[in-house]
């Protein structure tokens, strides 16, 4: 993780506050985290990102794979999704890949 100043960050496409951090995706899918002093570049690329009120972080990549953030990095979760929303670590909502785009 590299801390950078605001002028060094690419254009942000998504900003997700939650828990003690603010998370963001840049337009290239790069993941960023504001630690209260500077933005840190977090390894990985995602298409969508969601953060719960307790700081639970989930995302999907450009191949619709699902990931959740752990203390050790990104953990892939079985399945594929179009998008995801997080209330907290126990409440995660998803939009499926099926033609109806069902929400679960």
Question: Model confidence over 37-69: pLDDT tens digits?
Answer: 888 999 999 999 999 989 999 999 999 899 999
Q: Note the residue count of the chain.
A: 104
Which residue has better confidence, 2 or 40?
40
Please, what CATH class does the domain formed by 2-95 belong to?
Answer: mainly beta
pTM above threshold 0.75: yes
Quick one: which H or E segment has residue 83? strand 83-88
Percent of the chain with pLDDT over 70: 80
Phi, psi of 84 (to 5 degrees): -145, 150
For residues 13-34, give the mean pLDDT: 91
pLDDT of residue 97: 57
Q: Where are the domains of the chain?
A: 2-95
């Amino acid at each position: 993780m590299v801390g950078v100043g605001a002028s060094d960050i690419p254009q942000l496409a998504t900003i997700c506050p939650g828990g003690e951090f603010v998370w963001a995706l840049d337009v290239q899918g790069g993941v960023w985290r504001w630690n209260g002093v500077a933005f840190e570049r977090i390894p990985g690329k995602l298409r969508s990102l969601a953060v719960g009120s307790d700081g639970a972080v989930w995302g999907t990549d450009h191949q619709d794979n699902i990931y959740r953030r752990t203390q050790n990095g990104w953990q892939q979760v079985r399945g594929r999704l179009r998008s995801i929303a997080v209330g907290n670590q126990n409440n995660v909502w998803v939009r499926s890949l099926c033609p109806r785009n069902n929400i679960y």
